[in-house]
Chain A
Amino acid sequence: MNAPTTAVGQDEASPGTHPSGDERFARIDEAMQKHAFEQDALIEVLHAAQEHFGYLRTDLLHYIAHGLKLPSSRVYGVATFYHLFTLAPRGEHTCVVCTGTACYVRGVDRLLAAIEAESGALPGQTTPDGRITLEVARCVGACGIAPVVVFDGNVEGGQTEDSTLDRIRKWDHHGSE
């Protein structure tokens, strides 16, 4: 573990001068300050850390445990309990396939299998070249236009195997140019 060793003091986190040299730590400090360093704020702070760093590196967990004066195993336990938190870096692109009931009834299983075959990644995994992270979600709230896939944050309804694979292949091509 190579965490920035200075603990966050309540008063020393002015922007531009974070002791770690990485300004994103100041964002975590802000989140902790906003909640007055209450231990209850752990999940909120983890959200903030993931937002700014993309994923929850071990040193971030250490830093947060230190800042909120929480046992580090508790921070780890919380970070791994909730599926939205990820402890591994994500790919350049993310493809989230909705496996909620409406999408299931409209045959999303076949779609997912096609994507797995094309990308070689299983849900939760990133392709070895780091290009695509495949994930599943249980209902993204657009059941009326099922089956639904979310490409880099854009919700797309009425998907077919062809339309989905087209999108993914486009990512592949752009990436290899």
Chain B
Amino acid sequence: MSVHTLRIDEKDVSARAGQTILEAARENGIAIPTLCHLEGLSNVGACRLCLVEVAAVGGGTRLMAACVTAAAEEMVIQTDTERLREYRKMIVELLFAERNHVCSVCVANNHCELQDMAVAQGVDHVRYDYLEPTCGVDLSHQRFGLDHNRCILCTRCVRACDEVEGAHTWDVSGRGTLSRVVADLNTPWGASETCTSCGKCVMACPTGALFHQGSTVSEMIHERTRLSFLVDAREKKQWNA
């Protein structure tokens, strides 16, 4: 298998053919922030938090999403420049402004990837208007709930349901900032004809948008890693299923 050598943050690293910048970085202990990426699911390059600066041929740098860009020979990459830090901060602030993220009353408080991201990027206030949209909460499912107020439209639930469970209960409706995650034909979750109640979307969700009803905070912890464990196990045929 061919191997590429490249430089990430002044460190020489090698990447196997087909590996993304993100994979190569993580294997070498270099952290790049991500939100829409989840191990085991396809990558969509949507949240833009994993943007890195790649030296361009004619000088200067180009911003590329590490999760969807293949590592190539002799790439020179910076993952943590001042410019990137500022952009990431803005992106997180935009998310907090877009919907109603009231962490203190959220089931995911203290183990929310958005919250972690805010801390990691040093977000201490939001410079933009809180849009305060009216968003519903769907509690029609016996075991799970969906709170649109906390959804960041990362589509991890959509991909988990489609790619791992094969049910394709979820999709995104509308467009732009009016986009919403929907089950079936905008059906209450509990009435969905396709949902198998497997809970994979809940595992995949980075925030408290999808949750176990009646769950306590501690029960939500470590859920997410189960999904990639499951995919990994299947790929390696560790299970017969």
Contact = CB atoms under 8 A, between A and B. Distances in A.
Q: Do A and B come into direct contact in the complex, CB within 8 Å?
A: yes
A123 B95 CA distance: 28
Interface string A17-45: 00000000000000000000000000000
A80 B171 CA distance: 11
A77 interface: yes
Contacts of A72: 184-185, 187, 193-194
Interface residues of A, number: 14
B18 to A, nearest CB: 28
A76 interface: yes
Nearest to A70: B168
Contacts of A74: 168, 171
A77 B153 CA distance: 13
A111 interface: no
Interface string B171-182: 111110000001
A1 B182 CA distance: 16
Interface of B: 162, 168-175, 182-187, 193-194
Majority SS at the chain B contact face: loop
A76 B182 contact: yes
A73 B174 contact: no
Majority SS at the chain A contact face: helix
Given A72-B193, A73-B194, 20 more contacts: A1-B185, A61-B185, A71-B169, A71-B171, A72-B184, A72-B187, A72-B194, A73-B170, A73-B171, A73-B183, A73-B184, A73-B185, A74-B171, A76-B173, A76-B184, A76-B185, A77-B173, A80-B174, A81-B174, A81-B175
B82 to A, nearest CB: 37
Contact of B168 (A58, A71, A81): A71
A58 B191 CA distance: 15
A61, A71, A73, A77: most-surrounded residue (chain B CB, <10 A):
A73
Contacts of B173: 76-77, 80-81
Interface in A51-76: 58, 61-62, 65, 71-76
Contacts of A61: 185
Contacts of A71: 162, 168-169, 171, 184, 194
Nearest to B172: A77
Nearest to A78: B171
A73 B169 CA distance: 6
The 3 closest A-B pairs by CB, nearest first: A71-B168, A73-B171, A77-B171
19 contacts: A1-B185, A65-B185, A71-B168, A71-B171, A72-B184, A72-B185, A72-B187, A72-B193, A73-B182, A73-B194, A75-B185, A76-B171, A76-B173, A76-B182, A76-B184, A76-B185, A77-B173, A80-B174, A81-B173
